[in-house]
A and B are shown apart, each in its own frame.
Chain A
């Protein structure tokens, strides 16, 4: 790259930091390594420490407070109907772009929602409704956590005007710390510890306050965020 960057600039910047901090030559960063290994947690947020039924309630309440809508769905098989109902109720197009995730694509779409056109893949510019799964729901703030990967194209979370997300109750956690723990666990077994390319925390639909601080939904991302909360055994 250019003259000012790369190796010389790296040494120059790190050297300047060390000089300013009056760093000992013998300090190899043991303190930093300790923190990275121990990962101390901050103050615990009490409101997120709840038994499961109340955790579900807290999640729903928090998600609705940020203008999500939430539908409780009894089982995965009931999802196609729940999706069709929602789209009809809001007068939305019946073409659906679904994440290429067998848990979603293998649902009984033809039998249970014959009027929907369902295509799997990443989002294209013309898509107006998407359906994705999710990795976790954080009850503390009503936040969804979605991971990129072969089964989770990130474009589905942002391009369409309406985003439908399937979340199983067993995927709910209390505070965000529990979400980190689950993520680390998954990545340890799946990917040698690396994070997916993209981890999206989504708390309500897209919004802006840039015009006289009046909040408007649907600035660039989805205007509607609908959560299909599926009952299952706590896993």
Chain B
């Protein structure tokens, strides 16, 4: 997918003016948040499980080379064909060659963010293999020729009325006056449309939520069952997974599953958790004859050992975006690439470069809600700050901002001067604004005051008040 992350600002402006998007995003603001909270509150061990999930991922990342090797040898022992791919291009070529080796004309697909990351659909289409998305949300956005706007709910930006209109305009062979006003009718129609496609496909492509080193197994977690139909009906099953998906044991999987579904949709378990090990056995009545696993790096190995290593703990639950006020306001497409919300703001610059995606880490209010709900406790705000620093070092932000930050840094390194200057500013602003208590516009703060008033200071600086508080509490403690 061509990244448009550089245009974050313009994308976001358009998003704010799009009534359909704003209506659709309303469902995110309430639904996901309440469900996650109810599920988390209902399990007393939830916080301990989050710690444990974090530790499992940390341990795995610190031993990633070893676990990948052990995973590979178990997988091949069971008949899997493992393909290592350093880049997106390598992965696309590998998938294409497997498809061609069986003369495939169509490939059904379960939802896979890695497939989005490597732009697999466009590539297959150009090479005359028709990719068929089977997850309902993915199916909808494939009809609309749009990228996903959420990592677990790819069509979360689309309203029900829009889905109805899309189905009417694409499913031309069905009666034009058929009833489609109920969500159940839309779901049934999609089910009907895809049924034969599952059966006809030569290849089924899925992602993997996890790879298990102990058993050489790939795991998908879904609710619709489309991933399962995708992987059991065709002759060939291809799994595409990135290197950080590996975890050590089945017991580790149990721990992580308990936090994954609760964080994602507020379920205790998703409807389907499926473990696949090798192709069908000679005595099996069904299942794929070939089982391929494409292991993709695409920039992740160079995140290890850096301040972004912790991002590789991510289990793609979507909780950070579900709880992000910026994401709620601007939707997923504003982020301009496949990974959106807070996790996208950290991951996208790592994968496609800070020059392409440098604006994303600024799409944050630093409210900290993402970190507070992340099941593997990734310090997302801290990492966004790292990117901002990098961006600054590399001279990528606008001159006025650079000038402002330099001036601030000059003062901050000189505490006496800082106190004097800020004290003066605050008194001046307090005097100027004492009538209305706020400013509708301020020089150098247009970006702020264009959308909201700037409150007039209450007379003293933070440092002055802090010093006072310290003195007071010192007295009361004595």
Contacts and interface: CB of A to CB of B under 8 A. Distances in A.
Interface string B261-283: 00001011111111111111101
Interface string A207-223: 11111111010111110
Nearest to B88: A4
B258 to A, nearest CB: 7
Contact of B229 (A35, A43, A177, A221): A221
B422 to A, nearest CB: 42
B77 interface: yes
Contact of A42 (B49, B64, B215, B224): B49
B205 interface: no
Interface stretch (A74-82, A109-117, A147-155): A147-155
A47 B45 CA distance: 10
A208 B69 CA distance: 36
A220 B65 contact: no
A233 interface: no
A29 B70 contact: yes
A36 B184 contact: no
A29 B306 CA distance: 21
A176 interface: yes
Contacts of B196: 125
A18 interface: yes
A221 B229 CA distance: 8
Interface in B39-90: 43-45, 48-49, 52-53, 56, 59, 62-70, 77-78, 83-87, 89-90
Nearest to B28: A213
A159 B196 CA distance: 11
A224 to B, nearest CB: 13
Nearest to B59: A35
Interface in A22-71: 22-23, 28-29, 31-33, 35-36, 39-47, 62, 66
Contact of A21 (B62, B93, B213): B62
Task: Please list the 5 inter-chain residue pairs (A to B) with the smallest Cβ-Cβ separation, ordered nearest first.
Answer: A221-B225, A4-B90, A29-B66, A42-B255, A219-B224
A210 B135 contact: yes
Contact of B251 (A28, A42, A154): A42
Given A141-B268, A214-B183, 17 more contacts: A2-B93, A9-B90, A28-B66, A32-B63, A42-B53, A42-B255, A148-B280, A149-B281, A150-B285, A176-B258, A197-B277, A200-B273, A206-B224, A213-B32, A213-B156, A216-B187, A221-B272
A20 interface: yes
B214 A4 contact: no
A203 B269 contact: yes
Nearest to A202: B272
Interface in A108-163: 121-123, 125, 140-143, 148-150, 153-155, 157-159
B274 A198 contact: yes
Nearest to B217: A195
A219 B275 contact: no
A41 B137 contact: no
20 contacts: A1-B94, A2-B97, A4-B87, A6-B83, A9-B84, A13-B68, A29-B69, A32-B70, A40-B251, A149-B284, A150-B283, A154-B228, A157-B228, A195-B217, A197-B281, A197-B287, A199-B277, A213-B28, A218-B187, A220-B226
A84 B113 CA distance: 43
